[in-house]
Amino acid sequence: MSQASPELASLQPGQELDGSYLLLRPSLGTTKNGKPYGTLRLGDRTGELEGRLWDQAEELLAPLAPGMVVKATGRVDSYQGRTQVVLQTLAQDPDAEPASFLPASPVPLDELKAGLAEALSWVSQPDLKQILEAFFVRDGEFAAAFESAPAAKGAHHAYVHGLLEHTVSTARSARAIAGLYPADLEPQVLIAGALLHDVGKVLELTLGPPIDYTDQGRMEGHLVLGLRMLEAKLAGIENFPPNLAEHLRHMIISHHGAYEFGSPRKPKTAEALVLNFIDDLDAKMAMAGAARREAGPGHWSQYHRLLERFLYTGPGPLEGLEPGEEVPPLPEAQAEAAPPAQDQAEAAPRPAKRKKRPEPPEETTPDLFGGAARGEG
């Protein structure tokens, strides 16, 4: 990108725009008076900016296509609290490389790669270690694609290295949560599931530019693709434990948590349940952070369609106050083992048994090919 091009994230209403940017989602509309106008988004490594073409929209947009780099001039203003640019000129920049305009993770790549290596080192169980290495160590083509891939088209971590950033963050959350519930969770299974849950996004999404779904991604989605990729790796490992394989399959297909979010099965193991929560948490925190960074003046973000709310962006709760000391991490000893069981002689008497509740009716689950099917969730 030309050094003369101002970064989109730094632009404020009243400034002039003159630079080269990635063209995203161009479309033509018609005003109430029948005059054509253009809507589009411009992108660079710092973010995106909404654009409007009120004059010569058809002529300017006709030779252009999404993913091209365009030279644009115009004036930045604010409309209904949203920063946008009213464009005066728009034309292809044939000398620019589109990939260099894609946004990238704010976390340095070396730091992300070190985070992945650290997370892999937390898994020492031989079978889990073998399946993780089949993906991240022995398959160089997959590892390179995983390193570059976005985690989504637009919802969260939608940038180069976004999938790596999201996966490392989810694995760290898995390790932390596992330490709080040592009697209920298998930490290494949860961490392995966190590392594997989104492998299908390597096939679901393309960096383009612009970032978009592949044909496979639209036809099957990353849960199905991830399951297929897992099966292919398992087929190459002799005597992989069938029960462990089933648990890994379940974590991949259930990590969206509900039928309406694309999971054909709800989480039914402790590890799968936690994976769904921490995956969703990391995605939502990324959405909230992006909304705050993109907010204009005032104390509130624009309405966030996916989070279904406005987000507060004003002064923090401790701004201007004595911060206090940093909260210390949990002692390692607390995460190592569950509290010892009571000695039988010291055990408290058991309470009287409660009357057994009637079994709930069998769930009705959606048939993915139309209609409804009776069966498990």
Which band of pLDDT confidence, cut at 50, 70 and 90, is reported for residue 1? very low
Alpha helices in 266-348 (DSSP H): 270-294, 332-336
84's tokens: 């946008």
Which band of pLDDT confidence, cut at 50, 70 and 90, is reported for residue 374? very low
Which band of pLDDT confidence, cut at 50, 70 and 90, is reported for residue 41? very high
| Mean pLDDT of all residues in 230-239 | 97
- Map out the domains of the chain with their CATH numbers: 8-98 (2.40.50.140), 109-292 (1.10.3210)
Which residues does 79 contact at the CB level (< 8 Å), separation at least 6? none
Phi and psi based region of residue 371 (left: phi greater than 0; alpha: psi -120 to 50; beta: remaining): left
Other C-beta atoms closer than 10 Å to the C-beta of 92 total 15
Asked if the model's pLDDT at residue 247 lies above 50, the reply is: yes
183-222 residue pLDDT tens: 999 999 999 999 999 999 999 999 888 889 999 999 999 9
Confidence (pLDDT) at 181 = 96
More confident residue, 277 or 335: 277
- List the beta bridge partners of residue 20: 71
315-362 residue pLDDT tens: 999 988 888 888 887 665 444 444 444 444 344 444 454 444 444 443
Confidence (pLDDT) at 3 = 52
Answer yes or no: are the C-beta atoms of 38 and 28 closer than 8 Å.
yes
